[in-house]
Amino acid sequence: MSKTIMLLRSLGPVDLKSVARDSMLLMITGGALALALALRFAAPFLTSWLQMQFGLDIVPYYPLMMSLVLFIAPGMMGVVIGLLLLDERDDRMLTALMVTPIPLSSYVTYRLGLPILLALLVTPPAVLIAGLIVIPFWQLLLVSALTSISAATTALLLITLAENKVMGLAVLKGIQGLQALPMAAYFLDPPLEWIAGIIPSYWPLAVYWRMAAGEAFWGYLIIGVLINAAAVWFLLRRYERRLYKQ
């Protein structure tokens, strides 16, 4: 743990500088809050306009709109860390790290713990800013903790599927499309809805939809923790094998 803290002190400022120098990373970092603000001000206006012009009521789809924030906030954090990891691979930083007293396990703990922590800090404020649906704060913390795991999943997918940052940007489109696919399950009823459960990002969305509807969600929460943890474990094993081959 002390070596992980040492990494936080040494690499943390470097990471901040890397993000600050890269306009794309800065834009990605602020993406979730920008979306939350857009939803807060645009959704009520759009709701009134559609109701008056076409008699359409989109209020029943507010949970789907809000789940966009839950999906994007941790995803953005995972993208930032994943791209930083690809930069470090291009710069052969990991090769240099292997000759230091700091074990790779501490490095991996730092790298994966950071996006989860950042996602957990960003997601609740983003959901509260969007504000289309209000759920108890303790429920918001629970679903934010679950969806924050996907930040590590996104980072691991980027670093295991892409060889460099340029390829990572191309791979990112596929990752985001796959992770967004379970949102279509909102229009399905169980058991058809559960087909989307093979994709880990489905479970935080399913938990939130049930919280918003005042329905039981604990079963979905427990299964979601297990499936998302299993996904991180699997991808982590692949990442570690690649690390030790360098």
pLDDT digit string (tens) for 179-227?
888 999 999 888 888 899 999 999 999 999 999 999 999 999 999 999 9
How far apart, in whole angstroms, are the C-alpha atoms of residue 2 and residue 17? 23
Q: How confident is the model at residue 98 (pLDDT cuts 50, 70, 90)?
A: low
pLDDT digit string (tens) for 65-97?
998 888 888 888 888 888 888 877 766 666 666
Q: What is the pLDDT of residue 100?
A: 64
Q: What is the pLDDT of residue 213?
A: 93
Read out DSSP for 210-222?
Answer: HHHHT---HHHHH
Q: What is the pLDDT of residue 161?
A: 86
C-beta contacts of 183-186 below 8 A and 24+ residues apart: 183/64, 183/67, 183/68, 183/71, 186/61, 186/63, 186/64, 186/67
Q: What is the pLDDT of residue 171?
A: 86
pTM (two decimals)? 0.86
User: Can you read off the two tokens belonging to residue 196?
Assistant: 């989307």
Domain ranges for the chain, please list them. 2-245
